[in-house]
């Protein structure tokens, strides 16, 4: 797996279309990644409910 700076230098077009926050979770272990995704989904859901 490429490290983030290497990924950016090899695929500069990706960084224009995909925010860095979408690329970073690739490097994390899977359980932590799932927790982060779950937390993000919860936050989005709470935003929708509060509107």
Look at residue 7 in the predicted model and tell me its pLDDT. 46
| C-alpha–C-alpha distance, residues 40 and 36, integer Å | 6
CA neighbor of 20 nearest in space, from 39, 11, 29, 48: 11
Exposure of 8 by Cβ count < 10 A (0-12 exposed, 13-18 middle, 19+ buried)? middle
pLDDT tens-digit series, residues 17-34: 555 555 555 555 555 667
Quote the percentage of the chain above a pLDDT of 90. Answer: 10
The pTM of this model reads 0.35
Domain regions of the chain by residue span: 4-50
């Amino acid at each position: 797996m490429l490290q983030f700076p290497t990924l950016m230098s090899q695929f500069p077009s990706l960084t224009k279309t995909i925010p860095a926050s979408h690329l970073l979770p690739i490097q994390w272990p899977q359980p932590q990644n799932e927790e982060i995704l779950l937390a993000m989904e919860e936050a989005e859901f709470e935003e929708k409910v509060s509107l």
